[in-house]
Amino acid sequence: MDERQLRVLRELGELGSVTAVAEALRVTPSAISQQLRLLQRSIPVPLTERAGRRLVLTAAGQALADAAIGVETALARARHTVEEYVEEPAGTVSLAAFHSGAAAFYPLLLRRLRAPDSPRLALHDEDVAQADFPPLTRVHDLVVAHRLEHAPPWPRTATVTPLLREPLDIALPVGHPLAARSALTAEDVAGEPWISVHDGFPLLATVDAISAAAGRRVEILHRVNEIAVVAEVVAAGGGIALMPRWTSRPHPGVVLRALDGIEVHRHIDVLHRPERTARRAVRTVLRELLAAADTVRGQGAGWADRHAAGAG
């Protein structure tokens, strides 16, 4: 039995005929009769009987119709509870992000969502390969993920909201001979010792593209995923690296230079399952992520302009 069948039985007990029930529920009499037949199959005793030309409830049918009132009341309360949950502005929203994305976006979100009726954030860091970002949407409401320009797109099972298309620059230690140039080529940097990410992570494909463009395999000395650690290693003279222009934090010992001749951008997107944004709190956080992306872009571009001007 289901809710529709119980409601038909209840209405039949109150209205007294299949035709009247059909009119009340705005369906055909045959549809009402079908629902009654389906309900009867699950009950071992008769629920209705003929009284002249009318179909009326038996004692068992009336008892079940009375119980249907309690069922409909419980379902109405459940729906109301769900509606309150969906429309709750201050509900908890689980948000995951890769490390440099978390460092760039989390402080901005926490500052923007300070009001008492703002969503409560549950923040997580997830340092995973590109293919492992979509599965995170099973356990988090929103996932800030990144992929390279020419990498495979996100699967259609995830809803994607673009945040940034971020340039990737060459990070050099202050005082390095190449730092005097405003832009570099693959040939300029291929002979340098490199710091790069572990296998399977997005930035590695761009290092491979630099090798291909230069016609020689670059030497990767250090494998470090955390951008802040990469900056420290670069500043200490451990090698050069690719570094995101806007989401990496400025380091006094590191300069960034654009790379010419190769498409060096990454997409930063928010992934989520479609049903997650049924909640008002999740929609609010997603909207604030978009606003934060404008701030990240503006702050990063301003720092890069000042840094380039000061290095000439």
Nearest Cα to Cα of residue 5 among 38, 49, 53: 38
* Torsion sign over Cα 148, 184, 224, 162: negative
What's the pLDDT score for residue 88?
86
Nearest Cα to Cα of residue 144 among 128, 159, 133: 133
Residues 83 and 98 both lie in one domain: no
Task: Give the range of the structural domain holding residue 203, as residue numbers without chain letter.
Answer: 92-311
Buried b (16+ CB within 10 A) or exposed e, 85-102: eeeeeebebbbbbbbbbb
Distance of CA 305 to the CA centre of its chain: 31
What's the pLDDT score for residue 288?
97
Provide the percentage of residues in the chain whose pLDDT is more than 70.
Answer: 96
Residues 67 and 179 both lie in one domain: no
Q: How do residues 116-159 score in pLDDT, each as one tens digit?
A: 999 999 999 998 988 999 999 999 999 999 998 888 899 988 99
Residues 113 and 79 both lie in one domain: no
What's the pLDDT score for residue 191?
93
Residues 205 and 300 both lie in one domain: yes
Residues 19 and 66 both lie in one domain: yes
What's the pLDDT score for residue 264?
86
In DSSP notation, 154-193 reads: PPTTSEEEEEEEEEEEEEEETT-GGGGSSEE-HHHHTTSE
What's the pLDDT score for residue 311?
46
Residues 73 and 96 both lie in one domain: no
What's the pLDDT score for residue 285?
96
What's the pLDDT score for residue 304?
53
- Cβ distance 105 to 277 under 8 Å? no
Q: How many CA atoms lie within 13 A of 178 on its CB side?
A: 24
Burial class (CB in 10 A: 0-12, 13-18, 19+), 286: buried
What's the pLDDT score for residue 312?
42
Residues 54 and 99 both lie in one domain: no
**CATH code of 34's domain:** 1.10.10.10
Residues 118 and 181 both lie in one domain: yes
Domain stop point among 87, 102, 132: 87
Residues 96 and 239 both lie in one domain: yes
Using the structure block, give the residue that is written with the tokens 């109405």: 76
Nearest Cα to Cα of residue 234 among 214, 258, 247, 250: 250
Q: Can you give the pTM of this predicted structure?
A: 0.73
Residue-level pLDDT, tens digit, the chain, 312 residues:
788 899 999 889 888 889 999 998 999 999 999 999 999 999 999 999 988 888 889 999 999 998 988 888 888 787 777 777 778 888 899 999 999 999 999 999 999 999 999 999 999 999 898 899 999 999 999 999 999 888 889 998 899 999 999 999 999 999 999 999 989 999 999 999 999 988 877 677 888 889 999 999 999 999 998 899 999 999 999 999 999 999 988 899 999 999 998 878 999 999 999 999 999 999 999 999 999 999 999 876 555 554 554 444
Domain stop point among 64, 87, 110: 87
Count of the separate structural domains present in the chain? 2
- Cβ distance 148 to 264 under 8 Å? no
Q: What letter does residue 153 receive in the DSSP assignment?
A: P
145, containing H or E segment: strand 142-148
Residues 83 and 116 both lie in one domain: no
DSSP SS3 for 35: helix
Residues 24 and 41 both lie in one domain: yes
Residues 189 and 126 both lie in one domain: yes
For 104, residues 6+ apart whose C-beta sits below 8 A from its C-beta are 246, 247, 296
